[in-house]
Amino acid sequence: MFNLENPRTGKIAKIEGKIKIELILMGRGKIVIQRIDDSTSRQVTFSKRRKKAKELAILCDAEVGLIIFSNTDKLYDFASSSMKSTIERFNKTKMEQQQLLNPASEVKREATTLRQELHSLQETHRQLMGHQLNGLSVKELHNIESQLEMSLRGIRMKKEQILTNEIKELTRKRNLVHHENLELSRKVQRIHQENVELHKKAYAVSIRNELGTSDIEDTADKSHAQVRLQLSLPEQSHYETSTNS
């Protein structure tokens, strides 16, 4: 067994057979945690101690969210990732712990989950509309911008698809109307041709009727003339006889 003196603190560490080791105290003594009366010292201590949260997050790889209101009502906050995500994680974890300690019914848990989802959707909708953007980081704003661009791209694609389908439908209807017009035009031409043929036939029949009526009238006139001629012959012979006498 031999003793080893720490040159910084003067403490003695006893080492026995390289197995038993007494730790050497390297740090300072404990500080009594109490209110600092001097305002200047209190402000200096506040400025130094509030940076411990960042050091704790870096050294221990912890997610830290710190909100401080000083005695002068000034707000100081720090978040290792995002204050919003840290608070949401805190609320979720706290609620899960409360549910484990005080198990509620399935309906109540489901209703709570739906309320949270509704609140999240409403908040996301407001942010997409350009409201309540205070407190968001550049990364979160960039994510919202990307979502809007993707939404606009999808809306434009859907709009182009609808317009393309409408144009195709209108083109189909136009072609159908064009074919119907051609068919109607052919029907009108056929009807016109039939009317022309009927007119020709009617004209020919009327001509034949007129010619037939003229022949009948001529024949009747001739027959009347023959009858008058036959009746007048005796009178003429009688006249001649009387003259001769």
The sign of the CA dihedral 184, 190, 191, 193 is positive
Residue with the two structure tokens 């036959």: 230
Q: Residue 132: which residues within 8 A CB-CB, separation 6 or more? A: 123, 126
pLDDT of residue 129: 81
pTM here is 0.32
pLDDT of residue 98: 74
Cα gap 54→215, rounded to integer Å: 132
In total, the chain counts a number of residues equal to: 245
Given a contact cutoff of 8 angstroms between Cβ atoms, the answer to whether 241 and 233 are in contact is no
Residue with the two structure tokens 């919003």: 84
pLDDT of residue 16: 44
In terms of Cα–Cα distance, which of 89, 88, 81 is closest to 64?
81
pLDDT of residue 185: 93
Given a contact cutoff of 8 angstroms between Cβ atoms, the answer to whether 95 and 118 are in contact is no
Query: Would you state the torsion angle of the CA atoms of residues 228, 234, 239, 244, taken in this order, to the nearest 10 degrees?
Result: 150
Q: pLDDT tens track of the chain, all 245 residues? A: 444 444 444 444 444 443 333 434 444 556 677 888 888 888 888 888 878 888 888 888 889 888 888 878 888 888 888 888 889 999 988 877 776 776 656 667 778 888 888 888 888 888 778 887 887 888 888 888 888 898 889 999 999 999 999 999 999 999 999 999 999 999 999 999 999 999 988 888 888 887 776 655 555 555 544 444 444 445 444 444 444 44
